[in-house]
Structure 1
Amino acid sequence: MTIETTSIQDLVIINPTVFEDARGYFFEAYNQNALAAQGIHINFVQDNQSFSKRGTLRGLHYQNPPFAQTKLMRVLEGEIIDVAVDIRKQSPTYGQHFAITLSDENKKQLLIPHGFAHGFSVISETAVVLYKCDQFYNKESEGGIRFDDSSLNIDWGMDLAAAIVSDKDLLLPGIEGCNSQF
């Protein structure tokens, strides 16, 4: 497995080593020792899985301390555009976002640490997304940012007027109005 840095500090891409032959493929999707050897020490406590149809947009979500979550995102089936927005107020990249295509074909994973809002859009017919969290869900600490905040200028790879978005996500404020405690 290799670790690839991004334009935003602490946000990294994990590329597993994939072994392919006539039978198919094999790879370690998660190996705590391999990550620790590269300086990444995280104790994951919860796995979440979602199924979504083309045009679905989920996010942008986060949890404030002390229930902030690091997430390790990957796609089991299909293709998504995965987005992380830096909401660490003292960060030189505050308000900037990073987007990456995650798919069952490229097998890439995005490690999103505390201090980021997260969301994704489904650009294949369907997508099954699995992600690990280092903290349990806590409703009282949740927060969010509106997916179409013009100051973020995120390219979700779809027509936002036709996006399938939850009522809850439609009510989220822009980044200037979010309650980030990072």
Structure 2
Amino acid sequence: MSATRSDPAGLFEARATALPGCLELRPRIIGDGRGRFVKVFHAGAFAALGLATEYPEEYYSVSKAGVIRGLHFQVPPMDHAKLVFCVAGRIQDAALDIRRGSPTYGRSLTLELSAELGNMLYLPSGLAHGFCVLDETAVVVYQTSRPYSPAHDSGLRWDSAGIPWHTAKPILSERDQGHPPFADYVSPFVFTPP
């Protein structure tokens, strides 16, 4: 895969990241005196880029500065691809490869997502996800290729994988404080080249 590619209609620019199958998407942004218009999904464009095209669940979170949410994922058979973007504020988004056999197993990446850039992160199944809020408030939208399943919901400790977070003293949920460290996790995910 080349470092950057676009769908045939030119609606999205897909930028490869350090983790196989994980892409930064840059949509075409249309702006004028009224503001901006951003298309965040197009089934044909996503199919042309080899991405999931059905998202039966979509939700958003509102978080304040210094909050870290993550590292979250769902285990098989309810594992899912995830599309994440910020519609207000800025976040430090993070992904951790937990796919056994992956050339980047145990490695992470961080990327700033912002409402200003309109950029998005596409995470295939087998990546743990989290983010840190960089502005006073951030609104983050998530689209998932499978619905939330409490029985398959899982996570890893935010500070156990060497991710260089923007804060050393985050605001965390009780749930996120209780996740196991990455070193103790036996992953059910197996790498399949994209």
TM-score by length of 1: 0.94
Q: Tell me the residue number matched to 1:157.
A: 166
User: What are the within-5 Å matches in structure 2 for residues 5-154 of structure 1?
Assistant: 5-149=16-160, 152-154=161-163
Shift in Å, 1:174: 1.2
Distance 1:101 1:68 in 2: 24
One-letter code aligned to 1:157: H
Gaps of 5+ in 1: none
Distance 2:95 2:43 in 1: 22
Partner SS, residue 68 of structure 1: coil
Distance 1:4 1:24 in 2: 26
**Aligned partners of 2:52 and 2:145 also within 8 Å:** no
Distance 2:131 2:141 in 1: 12
**Aligned partners of 1:143 and 1:178 also within 8 Å:** no
Shift in Å, 1:180: 2.5
Partner SS, residue 52 of structure 1: strand
One-letter code aligned to 2:179: L
Shift in Å, 1:40: 2.2
- Does the C-alpha gap of structure 1 residues 154 and 7 become closer, same or farther in structure 2, counting only changes over 3 Å? same
**Aligned partners of 2:17 and 2:23 also within 8 Å:** yes
Distance 1:107 1:71 in 2: 16
Query: What is the count of residue pairs matched by the alignment?
Result: 178
Q: Tell me the residue number matched to 2:187.
A: 180
Q: Tell me the residue number matched to 1:170.
A: 177
Shift in Å, 1:71: 0.7
TM-score by length of 2: 0.88
One-letter code aligned to 1:102: L
Shift in Å, 1:179: 4.3
One-letter code aligned to 1:142: D
- Runs of 4+ in structure 1 over 3 Å off: none
Shift in Å, 1:36: 1.2
Two-structure CA RMSD over aligned residues (Å): 1.1
